[in-house]
Amino acid sequence: MATSTVIVTQPTSTEWKTGLFDCCSDMATCCFAFWLFPCMQCQTAAAHGWCLCMPLLDPFSCGAVSCCLVQSIREKYNIVGGCCNDCMKVYFCYPCLWCQMSRELKIRNRAPNNTVITQQVTRS
């Protein structure tokens, strides 16, 4: 008896679920970032599956950790953008970018993924 499993996904480029300056769309994240920004950064990194202490290295890496994290989030969810754009956001909109990443992970982790698994059983 042979069994074959087919996993079908349809990768499509998407946009961020919220804009860079949509901080007021999620007041909990906004307040968390305002009062406890390093804690929010650590929680965001952990929600993405990274070591929660990675953002604490950002001041010593000139923002390279943030650039890598935003790129990793974009790649995981197939969000359009590029490295240059990510770096510009890190250097000029640092807190807003972190809030956007946090909101994105909250939304994406809450929603079911679009992976369809079908299984076909063939009998010999």
> For residue 84, which amino acid is it?
C
73-99 confidence digits (pLDDT tens): 999 999 999 999 999 999 999 999 999
Residue range of the domain that includes 57: 2-122
Q: Is the pTM of this model over 0.85?
A: no
| Per-residue model confidence as pLDDT tens digits over 3-48 | 666 666 556 778 999 999 998 899 999 999 999 999 999 999 999 9
| Rounded distance between C-alpha atoms, residue 112 and residue 31, angstroms | 27
Show Cβ contacts of residue 33 under 8 Å, excluding neighbours closer than 6 positions.
23, 40, 95, 98, 99, 102
What is the count of structural domains for the chain? Answer: 1
Q: Given the structure tokens 């754009």, which residue do they identify?
A: 85
Residue 100 has pLDDT above 70, yes or no: yes
